[in-house]
Amino acid sequence: MDRAKLPLFPTTHARRWHNIMYIVFPNGKIDDQDMEQLQELLSVLDHQFALNIHNRKKTHVPEQYIYWDRLSYIAGLGFVMCQQYINITYPTDGLEKNNALPLPPMHSSGYSIAQLINAGANYWKHYQEDVNFPYGSLRKTTIEPIEKLGLDIDNPYI
C-alpha cells in the first residue's frame, strides 16, 4: 500500500523537520519512524555490547578495563539515544518534561521507565563534570533514581 495515500494524523506541535510524529494505518498499526530508527540503532549497540562482553571474558586485568570502558560508552549511548526519543515524543502531546517523565509505565523502584532512562543518560553524560558529584545539581533527577535501583554510584561502571 502506498504510504502517501494513507490518512495522516499530524500532531498539534510541529517538530523541527516536519509536523508528523507518526502515521496511523487503517488497520490501527502505528508507524513511528523515530522509534524504528531508535530500534535499528539500538540493535547495532546490542551487537557491539555482546561482542565486547565476549571479548572481556577472554581477557584478564588490566586488559579487561578496556572492555569495561567500551561497555560503559555503549550503554551510555543507548541511554542517550532513548532519552532523545523521549525528548522528541512528549512535546507532541503538549506536555512539559516534568509532567511527562513520571508517566507510566512504572518500574518497581517507584520511578517511571522514562525517569530511569533520563537518569541513566544524564548520569553518563554528566557524572565526570559535576565537581560536587554526587551532591550537586544531578542529585534529585539523576542520583536518587539510580540509588533507588540499588546501584552504587561510586562504582565507575554502574
pLDDT tens per residue, range 79-110: 999 999 999 888 877 788 989 999 999 999 99
pTM assigned to the model: 0.76
For residue 119, which of 87, 99, 146 has the smallest C-alpha distance?
Answer: 146
Run of H or E residues at 31: strand 30-31
Q: How far apart are CA 23 and CA 29, in angstroms?
A: 8
pLDDT in tens, 49-70: 999 999 999 999 888 899 999 9
- Tell me the average pLDDT across 2-18: 38
**Residue 153 domain-assigned?**
no
pLDDT at 13 over 80: no
**Residue 42 domain-assigned?**
yes
Band of residue 10 on the pLDDT scale cut at 50, 70, 90: very low
112 and 127 part of one domain: yes
Task: Please count the structural domains in the chain.
Answer: 2
Domain containing residue 5: 1-31
Number of Cβ atoms within 10 Å of the Cβ of 121: 22
The contacts of residue 156 (CB under 8 Å, 6+ apart) are: 72
82 and 7 part of one domain: no
Band of residue 157 on the pLDDT scale cut at 50, 70, 90: low
**Residue 154 domain-assigned?**
no
104: which DSSP letter? S
85 and 143 part of one domain: yes
**Residue 156 domain-assigned?**
no
94 and 127 part of one domain: yes
Residue written as cell 546490542? Answer: 46
pLDDT of residue 56: 94
The strand pairing partners of 23, in sequence order, are 31
Kindly tell me the sign of the dihedral angle through the C-alpha atoms of 57, 60, 66, 68: positive
49 and 98 part of one domain: yes
For residue 124, which of 65, 84, 79 has the smallest C-alpha distance?
Answer: 79
24: which DSSP letter? E
